[in-house]
Amino acid sequence: MRHFNSHESLPSDDSSETPPASSFVPSTDLETVMQHFAEIKRRGLPYETAAARIELLQKILAQMRADSEGSSEVRASFQHELAIASLEHLNAERIQQVDIALGACEEALQFYTLAHYPSQYASVQVTLGNVYRERAVGIRRDDLERAIACYHEALRVSTLADSPYEYAQAHHGLGQTYQLRSEGARQDNLEQAITCCREALGVYTGETFLFEHASTLHTLGSAYVRRVAGERRANLEQAIECFRQAEAIFTREAFPREYAQGQHFLATAYSQRINGEQRDNLEQAITYYQQALQVYTLDALPFEFAGVQNNLCIVYWQRIAGERRDNLEQAIACGREGLRVSTLDSFPFRYAMLQNNLGAVYLIRVAGERRDNLEQTIVCYREAMRVWTLEAFPYQYAKAQNNLGEAYQHRLAGERHDNLEQAILCYREAMRVWTLEALPQDYAMVQRNLGATYQVRLEGERQANLNLAVAAHQESLRIYTLDAFPIEHRQVQLDCAETQALREDWEAAHSAYVAARRAEDLLVALGAGAAGRDAVLKEGRAAAIHDGFALTRLGKIEEAAVAIERGRASGLAQAIQFNMADPERINNPERRIRYRTTHQAFSAAQALLQASHPTETDENSQRQIMLERTATYREARAAFDAAIEEIRVAKDPPDFLRDTLDATMILRATESCGPGHALVYLAAAPWGGIAVAAFSAQPARSISSAFATLALPALTEEFVRALIETRLADSEYITGGFDCAQRGNVLELLQAWPGTTFRECAGALHAACLAKAHTGTIDAAAQLVLALPPLAPLIDQPLPALSEENSSLLASTLNHAVLRRELQHCQSVLNRTLLQPLIRWLHEAGVCSLTLVPCGRLAAFPFAGTLLPDGQTLGEIFPTSIAPSARALLHDRQIHSPRMGVYALGNPYPTRQNLHWGEAEAFTLAELGHRLERSADVRVQWQATRNWLIEALRTGLVVNASCHGIFDLRNFLRSRLILAHEEELTLADMLSDQVDLRGLRLLILSACQTAILDLQGARDEVRSLAAGMLQAGAAAILAALWSVDDRATYLLMVRFALEWFPHMHTEPPATALARSQQWLRTVTNSDLLLWQATLSPQPVSANDLAKGSEILADAHVAGNGGQLVAVRGRANRFDAVQAQEIVQFGAEELAPDDCPYADPYYWAGFQITGW
C-alpha cells in the first residue's frame, strides 16, 4: 500500500495576522510617508499590496541608512513592517522573501527589547515565529523549534487577560507550527496544535474578529485532517465542518486567496474522507482543487499553484471514475506541473513530496513498459530521500522507506529473491519511526505491506514466512477496524484469507472472507447506482468465489453454493427482489402510497444518475453533473429505504423485501427448470477450480434434490487469465486472448505499436514477438492480412487517413482472423480441462438439462456451443443455458399483464451498414408467428424505433431485435442497441427500470455483442445487455457473445423459430437452440437451396415482404460474391478463407456438399441466458 504525502499536502496556512507596526510610528515623524503607506494598504488585500509596500519600505530604510536620519524606533517599526510585507508577498522568490523577513525581524529586535518595549517585542516574536515556520518548509526541522520558541517568548508578554488579541495570535501560530513539527511524538504535536487553535478561537470569535476566526478554523481543520488520535472518520468530518464554517466568511469575492486556500483544504479532506462513497468524495475533491486553481494560477501564486498540482497528482492516482490509464497519466502531468515551481534548490521539501507522489503513480502506471515504470518509481523515491533523511524529517523518511519497499516488492529487474529481501529491510526501517504507539495508522500500513511481502517471500522456510505474513496481517487489523477503516479492513482481511489459503487453513480463510464481506456490504451500501456498486465490488478480488472454494475444502458444499451465489449479480438480485415485491400486500393505505411514491422517485433518480452526460460539456462540467445527480439519488434512496424500514418495523407484511438467500432458495431455482436439471457454478481460484452443483429431484429415479461438488484442479485463475489475455512479457502490449477477439478491438491494439500504417504496426509487433520467442494470435492474424491481395491498397496507407468504410473493412477482417484462432484454441483447452470431467460427472448424476453459472472471466466463453471430441456440443448433450445467478431464474410470473404475440424489429435506419439479412429475419419471424395463429408485428428501417421496441417489450410474448449492438469498452452502462433515427436502448435503461419485461418469455437479441460481459469492472456483477434484460424481467434471452455474420445469423434465427415457436410452452428455448446450431453447422449448400424453396414466407403485406424475399432468394450463397460478409454491429469484412480459395482455385461456386457454416464462429456465440 503506497503512502502518499497526504498530511503535508495540506496547503500552508500563513494567514495569521500581525498588528500593523505603523501604529508604533510617531505621528510627528515622516507623516507624509506614513500617509502614503496607509494609502497603499487601502488599495487591496495584504498579499495584493505587499509588493508596493516592500518597495516603499526598502526605499525609506535605504534613505534612512544613507542619511543617518530617523530614530531607531522608527527604523525598527519599518523593519517589522518590511518583515510582514515580505511574508505576504507571494511570488516565486519565496526563499529570498523569507530571508528578507528574517533579517528585518532581527534588526527590529535590536531595538524592541523585552525590557523596554515588551508589547512590540512580543509582536515581532510572533512575526519571527511565522518566518521560521515558513523557512521550515523545505529547509530544516530546527526552524520549527525556533518558531515555537518565538511564540512562547511572545506569550511571556501577551497574556489572555492583558493582550487577548496578541495572545490568540501566538496560539494560532503555535497551532500551525505544531502540525508540521518533526521533533517529539507526532500524535502529541497534533493534539497540542488542536489545543492551541481552540485557545485562539476563545478570543477570535465570529462576532469580534471575523477574518481571524475563519483563518483559525482553517488551521484547526487541517489539524483534524492530520490527527492521529481519535477515530479517523470523525476527525475528517470535524475538519470538513471547520472548513465549511470558514467558507461562509472567506468568499471568493471578498477574500479570493483565503477562499482558494479553503477550497484546497476541503479538497484534501474529501480526498481522504471515509464517510460517503469514495468515488464521489474523490470527484468532489477534484472539483474543489479546480476551484482553488481559479485563484492559484502559475503566474500569480506559483507556490500555491504547485501545492494544488501536488495534491491533484494524489487524487488522480486514487480516482475511481474514468479510465485508470488516463487518470494515472493525468496524475503524472500534475506532478510535473508542480515540479516546475518546486525544485530541489528552491523548495526542497515540496520537491521531495512531489517525487514521492510521482513514484507512487509510476508504481502502478498502465502506459509504458512495466519494468521501466518500476525503475522510475525507485528513482523517484531515492530522489525524495535526498531531502527526507532520518535526521531531518523522520516521519517522511519512514514514508519513503515504506514506499521504496513496495517498489522493490514488485520490481522486475534484478533477482526476485534479492528484491523481496530489500523490500523487507525497507519496511523494517520505516517501522523504526512508524511505531504502534506513536503512529498507529502508518504502523498498520507498513504491517500490511510487510504481510504481503512475507506471503511471497522466497528466502527461508515457506511455512514460517506464511506464519509471519499472518502475524503482520493481524497487527494491521488492530488498527484497521471495520468501523474506523472499512476500505483498508476489507483489503487486509482479503490478504489474510489468501495467506491462510496458502497455509491450507481453510477455516481461517473462510473466517477472513466473511469479515471482508461485512466490510464490502458496508461500502456497497454507500455506493450510488450501478457504477458506484461496481466501483466497490471490482476491488473484491473474487472473494465470494474464493470463499466457496475454501468451503468445499471444508466439505461444506451447501454453504459454498450460498457463498458463491451471494457474490453473483447482487444488483440483478436486488432488482428482481424489487420487481417481485407486490405493494398490494401492504395493508396500510398510507404506507402503501409512501412505498409506491418513494420507489418511483428512487427509480427516476437512478435513471437520471445512470443516463449519459451531455457530450459537449467539459470534464469539470460533467463532474458537477455527476455530483448533482448523485446527491439527488442519495436523497431519493434514503426516502425509499425509510419507507421500506417502516414496512418492516410494522411487519406489514412481515416478509416484505427480506433477503431469503439460502440453500433452499438455490434448490428452488433449480427445481423451477424441471426434474433432472442441474444448476452448476463454475469457478476458478488461485488454488484450482470447482464445479458446485445444485441438482433438482428426479422422481422417476426416487432421487431428491441435493448439492454436490467436483474438483477441477487445472482450472486456476492463472489458467483462465492466460486464455482471456496474452501480453508480451513485462509490457502493456496485448498480443492476443479471447477478450480482444470477442470485443473486436484488435486493430486498436495493433495501432498501439510504433508506426502509422498497418504494415508498420504489424511489422513492429512481429519483430517484438520474434525477439522474445512469443506467439500471439494478433501477430499471426496481422501477417495473414498482409498476405491478402485484395487488401494490399489499404495496408500501406496511414491508418488515420483511411475512410471509415476501409478502416472498418480492415478491422473486421483482422478481428475475424483473431477470433477464429482464439475460439479454436480456447474451446480445445476448455474441453480437456473443464468440460470432459464435467460431462462425465453430470452423466453419473443422471442430469438431463443444465444451467451454468460461470463465475468471473469464465463467463466470456461459449460453453454451450463448444464442440466435443464426439462431434456434439455441450448443448446437444444437455440442453444448456447460462445464468448470472440462481436468483435470476426466480422471476414471479404472476406479476404482469397477459402477454401475446411475436414482435420483430430489423435493420433500423439510418445505418452505417445495411443489415439486409436482419431485415429478412424480422419479416420471417413475424410471419412464422402469424402462421402459428399468434398475433405478430414487424418494424424495419425508419419504423424500427425505440418507442416501438419498448412497447413491444412491454406487451409481447416473444420479441426479436435484429439490429446493430455495441458493447462499450469504456462505460458498460453505455452498451446499447442502435435503433431507428439514431436512437438507443442502453444497459443503463435496463438497470434503471425504464423498460418492463416482466412476463416476456424470450427476447431474441441477434445483434452482435449482446451477451458480452464487462470484464474490466466488477466481473461477477455480470454486466451485459442480456443480463440487463433479465434484470428488467425477461425469463430468457437469446444473445450473441461476439460480432456475428448477418446471413449466418439469419439462417440460425429462422431455424430456431421453426424449431421452438410451435413448442414454446412446453420446451425450453435452449433445447431448440442446440438443435438449430447442430443444423447450421451440418447443413450443406444443396440443403440450403432445398430449405429455401420450402421456407419462402407468405406475405404479411406484399410490399413489406418483397424486401425480405429479395434477400432470402440468395440465402444459399456462402459469401457476398465470395468476398464481403456483413457483420452485425461492425462493417463488412473480407473473408480471408474464401478469398484464398478463390485466388488459389479460381472457384466460382462452392461445392454443393460443403458445409459453409461448420466453423463455430458462425453459431457457437449464441446462447440462452435464463431458462
pLDDT of residue 11: 52
Separation of alpha carbons 360 and 354, rounded Å = 10
**Residue partners of 453: CB distance under 8 A and separation at least 6:** 405, 409, 420, 423, 424, 427, 469
- Report which of 28, 14, 15, 126 is spatially closest to residue 74, judged by C-alpha positions: 28
- In 650-763, beta strands by DSSP E: 677-685, 688-695, 706-712, 726-727, 734-736
Preceding peptide of 1068 cis, ω within 30° = no
Residue 15 has pLDDT above 60, yes or no: no
Cα–Cα distances in Å, from 1044 out to 144, 476, 742, 1138? 70, 51, 10, 17
Q: What is the mean pLDDT of the chain?
A: 87
| Set of cell numbers at residue 1075 | 438443435
Q: Where is average pLDDT lowest: 87-101, 385-399, 763-777, 819-833?
A: 87-101
CA distances from 164 to 118, 160, 204, 209, 598 (A): 15, 4, 9, 12, 55
Q: According to the model, what pLDDT value does residue 1099 have?
A: 35
DSSP 585: G
Q: What's the longest Cα–Cα distance across the chain?
A: 119
Query: How large is the average pLDDT for residues 229-240?
Result: 94
Cα gap 19→42, rounded to integer Å: 15
> Distance between CA atoms of 153 and 114, rounded to whole angstroms?
9
Q: Which residue, 581, 582, 571, 577, is CA-closest to 606?
A: 571
Cα separation, 152 vs 144, whole angstroms: 12
Q: Beta strand 976-978 with 984-986: parallel, antiparallel or unpaired?
A: antiparallel
Rounded CA gap, 233 and 485, in Å? 8
Non-local (6+) Cβ contacts of 899 within 8 A are 955, 956, 957, 999, 1000, 1001
Q: Please name the amino acid found at residue 734.
A: I
Q: Classify residue 1109 as exposed, middle or buried by CB count within 10 Å of its CB (0-12, 13-18, 19+).
A: middle
DSSP letters, 908-933, are ESS-SS--HHHHHHHHHHHHHHHHTT
Chain centre distance of CA 439:
30
Q: Measured between alpha carbons, how far is 329 from 424 in angstroms, rounded to an integer?
A: 29
Rounded distance between C-alpha atoms, residue 1146 and residue 1165, angstroms: 31
Question: Which grid cell sits at 881?
Answer: 443455458
Percent of the chain with pLDDT over 90: 63
Flag whether pLDDT at 32 surpasses 90.
no
Name residues whose C-beta falls within 8 Å of residue 123's C-beta, 6 or more positions apart in sequence: 18, 19, 21, 80, 154, 166
Q: Is the pLDDT of residue 582 over 80?
A: yes
pLDDT at residue 980 above 90?
A: yes
User: Hey, what's the cell of 929?
Assistant: 408467428
Pairing verdict, β 1036-1040 and 1124-1126: unpaired
Window from 254-268, 676-690, 856-870, 878-892 with minimum mean pLDDT:
878-892
The answer to whether residue 311 scores a pLDDT higher than 80 is: yes
* Cα→Cα distances 1020→779, 860, 885, Å: 31, 11, 9
Rounded (5°) CA angle 67-70-74: 140
Given a cut of 60, whether residue 614 has pLDDT beyond it is yes
pLDDT of residue 753: 95
**Residue 953 predicted with pLDDT over 60:** yes
Confidence of residue 1014 (pLDDT cuts 50, 70, 90): confident
> From CA 878, how far away is CA 29, in angstroms rounded?
105
Mean pLDDT of 593-599: 92
Residue 1108 pLDDT exceeds 60? no
**What are the tens digits of pLDDT across the range 830-884?**
999 999 999 999 999 999 999 999 999 999 999 999 999 999 999 999 999 999 9
In this prediction, residue 48 has a pLDDT band, given cuts at 50, 70 and 90, of confident
Question: If pLDDT is split at 50, 70 and 90, which confidence band does 1127 have?
Answer: low
User: Which residues share a beta bridge with 679?
Assistant: 694, 851
With pLDDT > 70 as the criterion, what percentage of the chain qualifies? Answer: 90
CATH T-level topology, domain 899-1170? Rossmann fold (3.40.50)
Other beta carbons within 10 Å of 587 = 10
Which residue type, as a one-letter code, is found at position 329? E
CA-to-CA distance for 817 and 824, rounded, in angstroms? 11
Instruction: Output the pLDDT for position 969.
Output: 64
The answer to whether the CB of 693 falls within 8 A of the CB of 672 is no
Residue 1164, pLDDT above cutoff 70: yes
Q: Residue 826 is placed in which grid cell? A: 480456447
- The residue that leads in pLDDT, 1009 or 518, is 518
Residue found under cell 482455385: 1145
Residue 200, strand partner residues: none
Does the pLDDT at position 649 exceed 70? yes
DSSP, collapsed to helix, strand or coil, labels residue 1010 as coil
Q: What is the 3-class SS of 735-794, one letter each residue?
A: EECHHHHHHCCHHHHHCCCCCCEHHHHHHHHHHHHHHCCCCCHHHHHHHHHHCCHHHHHH
1136: buried, middle or exposed (CB in 10 Å: 19+, 13-18, 0-12)? buried
pLDDT tens profile 896-934: 578 889 999 999 998 777 888 888 899 999 989 988 877
Domain ranges of the chain: 582-650, 899-1170
Interatomic CA distance for residues 687 and 715, integer angstroms: 9
Distance CA 992, CA 665 (A): 26
For residue 17, give the C-alpha cell: 495576522
Q: What is the 3-state composition of the chain as percent helix, strand, coil, each rounded to the nearest 5?
A: 60, 10, 30
DSSP for 72-100 reads: HHHHHHHHHHHHHHHHH--SS-HHHHHHH
